[in-house]
């Protein structure tokens, strides 16, 4: 006979099951059907922050992509129409650096020799390749996106939108070319923007630590002592700064230092910093050509730190950003000692040496001239390039900036209307906006957004081109070779200056990649675009890679702003910032209404993952070995404001926990097949029909409560609460409902089947966004027999559950607390659960009185009474993991008070000791009752178990042991649940014959004989 349900194996094979589901979705067109079903529904607008198509994705990307998918799936279940557009970031330094590595190029000169057109082609190939790799990985992860319609940030369309933005900021007067000290990567040969230098890119590096004498002019034998860790900056020294308010002392070696930094010193003389200001000194490299004419003097700087160095700071405005700012105030000369590749320029004495190579020669030179006080080494945190990890330097260069001053307040105002999850990140965004400097948008590189800036050498006008049409109109020549708006082709199109008409050429710089990603809320949604162009976004370098449309402005009105975006916390100063900057500038509105952001992913021991440390986990490895569902579960179970410790250990735990769900479904399938029971689809809408027992009504209420909790959790963008709610639901379903109802399933109780089926199917619907594969797999098994059921859980919509019966839920929660305490009491007294006992006394759980039978049955006692429990002896110990952090040094006193029994019990189950109130979960309580009684208590409930065993109880205990042993043998012998056996018990157990009927019933034995010394079963 064909079974109603196809059977489930012992445990799920996540890998195989997931591939099968992917294949099924593909074959049945499930995603397309879902989109079709929701077309015309209410809109849920999500804008994807682009992933860089430059490498396979990492497990931290998979976290973000999981969250994006979870909420898109949830909204789809609720009937929302969605766009599902995935984005790829395609150009800029990150792509260039990887292509350089692949081609074995290691400098800008080598790139230029290789040829920019060829280089651009390689960059595009790399993007196309990794876009495919990432797409494949994302599909495998279960992510549903419109994979053929991705946006690529290097399309001409995207570039044109950025041009338009740049033209607008120019018209507002925000665009300027700054002669500025900027953070510079010597290897990449470009400046690095403020938002690209952050704590994560600081590395522990070793550098020289030098103390150097700057002899004071006209003060015989006196000198300033300065400290530096960057010897290469000394040839560019022009001043020395002191704190005007600090005390300085002259030591007997003739050097001045801040008193705070050498407090023990015997001072020859003492002076306030202000008294030193204006003194002139001999620079450390006055003989160099670059130093010609420089007058070195002491300047005043209240920010001079008095906690490291000497309290006198050597100032080189061409080699440090604060130094540069000081040069403006004090009109100091700016000497820039480094070229683009971080090597010493002629005139600075160490021609062509790198900042590292120059260290020893500088030290030797100073030493020879008697200026070196001390040379050591120091290990300190030093910023490195976020792409190539080369230590960064400062250079004064001409870069292009967008002033942030006027947009700061509008961006703050826009952020005030944004709902952040977790909420405190809103303040982080505000902090970033309040402190953001001007946006350094230019990079001296190749494969990036071509900045459309055409300065005129003749009349000085800066023409900023705002569109391709405008470029064509102004072009003097070169249009015929303009394949796409990238270098080198764009560089061959000079224009006529808008001021004087003479030919002007584009600056060679390309743009910061955050311009590319920042424009997408406008460029992908068709802001101010007159006509909807099918596949109109697939332009320039994007041709052939995507079929994305260029929508029209009406479409933009519908989908802007995004209802929700979600990225890692670091995106506050990157993508959230750049899309906000560009949208607020162009439209006056925030591009998103709600944000979910989350912390970092570390390995399971809490260390950062690094390939070189051997602790990195590749996405494919995780997909194959954990499975996508388990990965997703790990991501979703994580509170977003804490770092995720990701790994195979936690994955193993999750697999184990998912088994409870699996086994519950398997239990239903196995028993339903025996009874040939068929589910009724309508039960999902109305609740299980039939004569429901209290326990059934409880499970229905429990299920409805799950739907309610999960809905609230999704609506507040907190997957961690969905996972918690589902976990506790499965625990209740398995360890209470099923365990309490086993016999009914055995007896083929229709109502029990209906109730369990209802709970399982509703539960799967609720958890399906988090765990799409297993949910879909089990859901299909459980609903296959229902003619009316949609083929996929994702086509079933969101469960519409009635308000749960809260009184009943509270009752059962009380009962379970009593049972749990009873178990604790048993465990404390060393009486195993199978051993029946005579009496349980319950104190403090009144509602449980209506459930005496359940309690008696669960705890295997003959009688349950309700009265005061004499538990005079109470031992209380601190729950250290909880109390330790809370009490800190007070813990000792509390612990001593508890030990000495100097405490007071509080009505809520807590205690007062040593002046502290301790909650019920902050202490471990052990109670001793009268002799022969085991006692346990918590949360104001106390139970006492009579542990005395008489002959009858002892015999019954043996019967339970025997039944357990037989059923274990049945399982080991591979018997079906319905197979009957002949049972032979050892002669020594012959006295249990009085219980034969009971034993036979519980083991499906047709006969029970006593013979020999071993327990035996034989299938009949």
Residue 689 contacts Zn ion per CB under 5 A: no
Residue 476 contacts Zn ion per CB under 5 A: no
Binders of Zn ion among 791-850, rule CB under 5 A? none
Q: What are phi and psi of 893, to 5 degrees?
A: -65, -40
**Neighbouring-strand partners of residue 401:** 176, 440
The smaller minimum CB distance to Zn ion, of residues 193 and 947, is found at 193
In angstroms, what is the minimal distance from the CB of 322 to Zn ion?
23
The smaller minimum CB distance to Zn ion, of residues 6 and 106, is found at 106
Binders of Zn ion among 645-674, rule CB under 5 A? none
Residue 185 contacts Zn ion per CB under 5 A: yes
Taking CB under 5 A as the binding criterion, the range among 177-185, 235-243, 477-485, 863-871 that sits at the site for Zn ion is 177-185
Binders of Zn ion among 332-391, rule CB under 5 A? 385, 387-388, 390
Which element (helix H / strand E) includes 673?
A: helix 648-675
Task: Please name which of 133, 134, 105 lies closest in space to residue 119, comparing C-alpha atoms.
Answer: 105
**Which residues make Cβ contacts (< 8 Å) with residue 485, sequence separation at least 6?**
156, 159, 160, 450, 468, 540
CB 587 within 8 A of CB 521: no
In angstroms, what is the minimal distance from the CB of 458 to Zn ion?
4
Residue 4 contacts Zn ion per CB under 5 A: no
DSSP notation for 945-1007: EE----HHHHHHHHHHHHHHHHHHHHHHTT--TT--EEEEE-GGGGGGGGGHHHHHHHHTEEE
By rule CB under 5 A, what count of residues binds Zn ion? 14
Q: In what order do the strands lie in the sheet with 393-402?
A: 190-192, 175-185, 393-402, 439-440
Here's the x/- map for Zn ion, 222-251, by CB under 5 A: it reads as ------------------------------
Taking CB under 5 A as the binding criterion, the range among 119-127, 398-406, 458-466, 753-761 that sits at the site for Zn ion is 458-466
In angstroms, what is the minimal distance from the CB of 89 to Zn ion?
18
Tell the burial category of 487 from Cβ atoms under 10 Å away from its Cβ (0-12, 13-18, 19+). Answer: buried
The smaller minimum CB distance to Zn ion, of residues 184 and 575, is found at 184
Residue 708, token pair as written in the block: 């309610």
In angstroms, what is the minimal distance from the CB of 884 to Zn ion?
45
Residue 258, token pair as written in the block: 């801040």
Residue with tokens 């229905």: 700
Residue with tokens 């009688």: 863
Residue 459 contacts Zn ion per CB under 5 A: yes
Q: E-assigned strands of 639-772?
A: 644-646
Q: E-assigned strands of 518-624?
A: 565-568, 594-598, 601-603
Taking CB under 5 A as the binding criterion, the range among 182-190, 424-432, 706-714, 750-758 that sits at the site for Zn ion is 182-190
The smaller minimum CB distance to Zn ion, of residues 392 and 914, is found at 392
Distance CA 606, CA 645 (A): 6
Here's the x/- map for Zn ion, 482-511, by CB under 5 A: it reads as ---------------x-xx-----------
Distance CA 179, CA 173 (A): 17
The smaller minimum CB distance to Zn ion, of residues 112 and 458, is found at 458
Binders of Zn ion among 188-207, rule CB under 5 A? 188
In angstroms, what is the minimal distance from the CB of 186 to Zn ion?
8
The smaller minimum CB distance to Zn ion, of residues 496 and 949, is found at 496
In angstroms, what is the minimal distance from the CB of 110 to Zn ion?
15
Binders of Zn ion among 428-457, rule CB under 5 A? 456
Among 187, 207, 474, 916, binds Zn ion (CB under 5 A): 187
CB 622 within 8 A of CB 609: no
In angstroms, what is the minimal distance from the CB of 498 to Zn ion?
8
The smaller minimum CB distance to Zn ion, of residues 159 and 456, is found at 456
Binders of Zn ion among 95-154, rule CB under 5 A? none
In angstroms, what is the minimal distance from the CB of 384 to Zn ion?
8
The smaller minimum CB distance to Zn ion, of residues 198 and 245, is found at 198
- The strand pair at 453-455 and 462-464 is best described as antiparallel
User: What's the sign of the alpha-carbon dihedral 479, 482, 485, 491?
Assistant: negative
The smaller minimum CB distance to Zn ion, of residues 92 and 540, is found at 92
What three-state secondary structure class fits 63?
helix
Residue 749, token pair as written in the block: 């109780």
Taking CB under 5 A as the binding criterion, the range among 59-67, 185-193, 369-377, 882-890 that sits at the site for Zn ion is 185-193
CB 244 within 8 A of CB 300: yes
Binders of Zn ion among 282-311, rule CB under 5 A? none
Tell the burial category of 334 from Cβ atoms under 10 Å away from its Cβ (0-12, 13-18, 19+). Answer: middle
In angstroms, what is the minimal distance from the CB of 655 to Zn ion?
41
In angstroms, what is the minimal distance from the CB of 496 to Zn ion?
9
The smaller minimum CB distance to Zn ion, of residues 167 and 387, is found at 387
Residue with tokens 């079929």: 547
The smaller minimum CB distance to Zn ion, of residues 261 and 510, is found at 510
**Which residues make Cβ contacts (< 8 Å) with residue 285, sequence separation at least 6?**
234, 235, 237, 291, 348, 349
In angstroms, what is the minimal distance from the CB of 492 to Zn ion?
20
Distance CA 929, CA 75 (A): 55
The smaller minimum CB distance to Zn ion, of residues 445 and 816, is found at 445
Residues lying near Zn ion in the complex (CB under 5 A) are found at 185, 187-188, 385, 387-388, 390, 456, 458-459, 461, 497, 499-500
């Amino acid at each position: 006979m064909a079974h109603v349900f196809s059977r489930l194996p012992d445990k799920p094979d996540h890998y195989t099951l997931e591939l099968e589901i992917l294949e099924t979705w593909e074959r049945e067109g499930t995603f397309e059907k879902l989109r079709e079903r929701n077309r015309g529904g209410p809109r849920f607008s999500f804008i994807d922050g682009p992933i860089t198509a430059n490498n396979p994705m990492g497990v931290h990307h998979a976290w973000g992509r999981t969250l994006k998918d979870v909420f898109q799936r949830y909204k789809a279940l609720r009937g929302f129409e969605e766009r599902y557009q995935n984005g790829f970031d395609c150009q800029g330094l990150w792509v260039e650096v990887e292509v350089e590595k692949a081609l074995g190029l290691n400098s800008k000169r080598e790139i230029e020799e290789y040829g920019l057109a060829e280089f651009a082609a390689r960059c595009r190939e790399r993007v196309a390749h990794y876009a495919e790799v990432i797409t494949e990985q994302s599909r495998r992860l279960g992510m549903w996106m419109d994979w053929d319609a991705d946006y690529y940030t290097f399309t001409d369309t995207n570039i044109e939108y950025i041009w338009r933005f740049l033209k607008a900021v120019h018209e507002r007067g925000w665009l300027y070319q700054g002669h500025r000290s900027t953070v510079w990567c010597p290897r990449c040969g470009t400046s690095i923007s403020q938002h690209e230098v952050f704590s994560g890119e600081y590395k522990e590096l070793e550098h020289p630590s030098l103390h150097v004498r700057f002899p004071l002019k006209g003060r015989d034998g006196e000198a300033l002592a300065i400290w530096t860790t960057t010897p290469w900056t000394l040839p560019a020294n022009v001043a020395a700064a002191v704190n005007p308010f600090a005390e300085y002392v002259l030591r007997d070696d003739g050097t001045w230092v801040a008193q705070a930094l050498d407090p023990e010193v015997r001072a020859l003389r003492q002076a306030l910093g202000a008294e030193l200001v204006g003194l002139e000194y001999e620079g450390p490299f006055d003989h160099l050509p670059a130093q010609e004419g420089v007058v070195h003097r002491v300047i005043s700087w209240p920010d001079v730190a008095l906690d490291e160095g000497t309290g006198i700071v050597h100032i080189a405005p061409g080699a440090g950003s604060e130094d540069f700012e000081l040069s403006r105030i004090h009109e100091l000369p700016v000497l820039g000692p480094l070229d683009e590749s971080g090597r010493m320029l002629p005139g600075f004495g160490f021609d062509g040496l790198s900042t590292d190579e120059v260290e020893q020669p500088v030290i030797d030179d100073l030493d020879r001239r008697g200026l070196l006080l001390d040379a050591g080494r120091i290990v300190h945190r030093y910023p490195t390039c976020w792409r190539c990890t080369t230590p960064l330097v400062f250079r004064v260069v001409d870069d292009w900036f967008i002033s942030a001053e006027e947009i700061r307040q509008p961006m703050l105002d826009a952020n005030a209307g944004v709902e952040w999850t977790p909420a405190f990140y809103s303040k982080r965004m505000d902090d970033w906006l309040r402190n953001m400097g001007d946006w350094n948008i230019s990079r001296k590189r190749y494969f990036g957004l071509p900045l459309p800036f055409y300065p005129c050498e003749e009349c000085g006008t800066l023409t900023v081109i705002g569109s391709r049409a405008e470029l064509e109109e102004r072009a003097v020549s070169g249009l015929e070779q303009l394949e796409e708006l990238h270098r080198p082709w764009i560089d061959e199109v000079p224009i006529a200056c808008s001021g004087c008409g003479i030919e002007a050429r584009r600056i060679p710089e390309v743009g910061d990649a955050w311009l590319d990603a920042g424009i997408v809320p406008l460029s992908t949604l068709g802001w101010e675009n007159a006509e909807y162009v099918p596949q109109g976004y697939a332009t320039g370098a994007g041709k052939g890679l995507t079929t994305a449309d260029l929508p029209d402005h009406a479409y933009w009105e519908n989908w802007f702003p995004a209802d929700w975006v979600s990225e890692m916390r670091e995106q506050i100063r990157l993508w959230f910032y750049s899309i906000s900057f560009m949208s607020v500038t162009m439209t006056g509105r925030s591009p998103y209404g709600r944000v979910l952001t989350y912390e970092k992913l570390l390995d399971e021991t809490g260390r950062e993952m690094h390939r070189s440390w051997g602790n990195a986990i590749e996405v494919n490895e995780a997909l194959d070995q954990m499975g996508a569902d388990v990965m997703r579960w790990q991501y979703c179970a994580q509170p977003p404001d804490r770092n995720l410790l990701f790994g195979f250990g936690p994955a193993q735990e999750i697999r184990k926990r998912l088994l409870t769900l699996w086994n519950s479904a398997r239990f239903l399938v196995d028993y339903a097949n025996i009874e040939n029971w068929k589910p009724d689809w309508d039960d999902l809408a109305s609740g299980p029909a039939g004569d429901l027992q209290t326990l059934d009504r409880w499970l229905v209420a429990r299920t409805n409560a799950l739907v309610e909790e999960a809905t609230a959790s999704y609506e507040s963008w907190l997957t961690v609460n969905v996972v918690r709610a589902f976990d506790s639901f499965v625990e209740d379903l398995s360890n209470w409902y099923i365990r309490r109802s086993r016999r009914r399933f055995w007896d083929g109780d229709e109502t029990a089947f209906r109730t369990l089926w209802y709970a399982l199917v509703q539960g799967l619907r609720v958890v399906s966004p988090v765990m799409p594969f297993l949910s879909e797999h089990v859901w299909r098994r459980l609903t296959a027999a229902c003619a009316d059921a949609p083929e996929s859980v994702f086509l079933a919509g969101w469960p519409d559950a009635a308000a749960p019966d809260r009184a009943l839920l509270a009752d059962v929660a009380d009962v379970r607390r009593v049972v749990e305490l009873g178990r604790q009491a048993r465990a404390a007294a060393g009486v195993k659960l199978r051993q029946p006992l005579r009496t349980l006394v319950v104190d403090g759980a009144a509602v449980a009185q209506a459930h005496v039978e359940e309690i008696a049955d669960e705890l295997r006692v003959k009688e349950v009474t309700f009265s005061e429990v004499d538990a005079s002896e109470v031992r209380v110990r601190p729950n250290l993991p909880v109390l330790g952090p809370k009490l800190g040094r007070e813990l000792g006193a509390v612990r001593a008070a508890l030990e000495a029994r100097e405490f007071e019990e509080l009505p809520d189950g807590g205690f007062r000791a040593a002046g502290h109130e301790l909650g019920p979960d902050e202490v471990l309580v052990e109670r001793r009752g009268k002799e022969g009684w085991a006692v346990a208590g918590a949360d104001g409930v106390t139970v006492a178990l009579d542990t005395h065993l008489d002959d009858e109880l002892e015999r019954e205990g043996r019967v339970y042991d025997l039944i357990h042993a037989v059923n274990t043998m049945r399982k080991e012998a591979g018997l079906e649940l319905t197979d009957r056996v002949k049972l032979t018990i050892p002669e020594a157990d012959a006295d249990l014959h009085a219980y034969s009927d009971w034993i036979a019933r519980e083991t499906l034995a047709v006969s029970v004989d006593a013979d020999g010394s071993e327990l035996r079963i034989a299938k009949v």
